[in-house]
């Protein structure tokens, strides 16, 4: 018997943030599984390597989530050209590392607009078509930060927690339809995410607590698994073909920490996080 492939369930896929990190790993995995992939970036040059390697099986889409209406329009155009996407992965996002009160609120508002509101807008557009066709899988990439908020990354935590709440809502709403909702919550992977994190300057930008937390955060990211491992976990979840929450990452983050959070107290969880980031 031939081994199951993702293309047995999904012929076409749309991935935001496909040029680097987890998005790139997801695209490579799906292409290797025989799925045609439409992948997005803000700059077409960042997708050239995927086009060169995979030819017509990979279609680049220029999409900037800072512009919600334009992002939706470009998604819908790609969706029509694909004949309706079987799989949509909302992966694009970015980090901001700064003290909440010491940073201009427009910085946080923009991040929430991009990562929560405009991502939900694409999810809305994608899910409508899937329900009309009564097939498909919508994957919203949340984060373990939804359960274990990162210090000095408040809007990122809010956005990821909001996406997880959206996913829970949608799982109930699509019950009975042949549509899968996956709430994927990655931990830390070696994606150079920390290299792209924005660090606005403020009066407290050089505070010792901020510096210690940043050092711990970078060490945590640099010691994580390779992005290809996240793609393996996503493939496994897609082949199960059922809605659910998927925690992925190193064993402690994805398995042990959620158990501590579930059976321990909130005070204990906060003490552990404060000690890890050296801000207690």
- Render pLDDT for 95-147 as a digit per residue (tens, 0 to 9): 999 999 999 999 999 999 999 999 999 999 999 999 999 999 999 999 999 99
pLDDT for the residue numbered 275: 84
Q: SS3 for the chain, per residue?
A: CCCCCHHHCCCEEEECCCCCHHHHHHHHHHHHCCCEEEEEECCHHHHHHHHHHHHHHEEEEECCCCCHHHHHHHHHHHHHHHCCCCEEEECCCCCECCCCCCCCHHHHHHHHHHHHHHHHHHHHHHHHHHHHHCCEEEEEECCHHHCCCCCCCHHHHHHHHHHHHHHHHHHHHCCCCCEEEEEEEECCCCCCHHHHCECCCCCCCCCHHHHHHHHHHHHHHHCCCCHHHHHHHHHHHHHHCCCEEEEECCHHHHHHHHHHHHHCCHHHHHHHHHHHCCCC
Using the predicted structure, report yes or no on whether residue 278 has a pLDDT greater than 90. Answer: no
Domains of the chain: 8-276 (3.40.50.720)
The catalytic site residues sit at 156
- Render pLDDT for 203-257 as a digit per residue (tens, 0 to 9): 555 689 999 999 999 998 999 999 999 999 999 999 999 999 999 998 888 888 8
pLDDT for the residue numbered 274: 87
Give the residue, 67 or 267, on which the prediction is more confident.
67
pLDDT for the residue numbered 194: 86
- Render pLDDT for 176-218 as a digit per residue (tens, 0 to 9): 999 999 999 999 999 989 888 999 976 555 689 999 999 999 9
What percent of the chain stands above pLDDT 70?
A: 98
């Amino acid at each position: 018997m031939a081994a199951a492939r993702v293309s047995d369930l999904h012929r076409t896929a749309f991935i935001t943030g496909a040029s680097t990190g987890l998005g790139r790993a997801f695209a490579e995995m799906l292409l290797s599984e025989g799925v045609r992939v439409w992948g997005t970036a803000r700059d077409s040059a960042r997708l050239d390597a995927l086009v060169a390697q995979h030819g017509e099986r990979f279609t680049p889409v220029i999409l900037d989530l800072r512009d919600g209406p334009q992002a939706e329009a470009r998604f819908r155009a790609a969706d029509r050209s694909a004949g309706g996407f079987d799989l949509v992965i909302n992966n694009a996002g970015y980090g901001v590392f700064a003290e909440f009160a010491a940073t201009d609120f427009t910085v946080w508002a923009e991040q929430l607009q991009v990562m929560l509101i405009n991502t939900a807008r694409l999810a809305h557009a994608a899910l409508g078509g899937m329900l009309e066709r009564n097939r498909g899988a919508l994957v919203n990439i949340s984060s373990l930060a939804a359960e274990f908020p990162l210090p000095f990354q408040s809007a990122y935590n809010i956005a990821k927690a909001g996406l997880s709440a959206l996913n829970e809502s949608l799982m109930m709403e699509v019950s009975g339809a042949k549509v899968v909702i996956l709430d994927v919550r990655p931990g830390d992977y070696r994606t150079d995410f920390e290299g792209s994190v924005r660090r606005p300057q403020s009066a407290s930008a050089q505070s010792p607590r901020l510096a210690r937390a940043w050092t711990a955060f970078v060490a945590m990211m640099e010691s994580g698994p390779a992005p290809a491992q996240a793609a393996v976990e996503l493939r496994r979840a897609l082949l199960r073909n059922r809605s659910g929450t998927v925690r992925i990452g190193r064993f402690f983050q994805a398995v042990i920490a959620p158990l501590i959070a579930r059976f321990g107290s909130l005070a204990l969880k906060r003490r552990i996080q404060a000690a890890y980031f050296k801000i207690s």
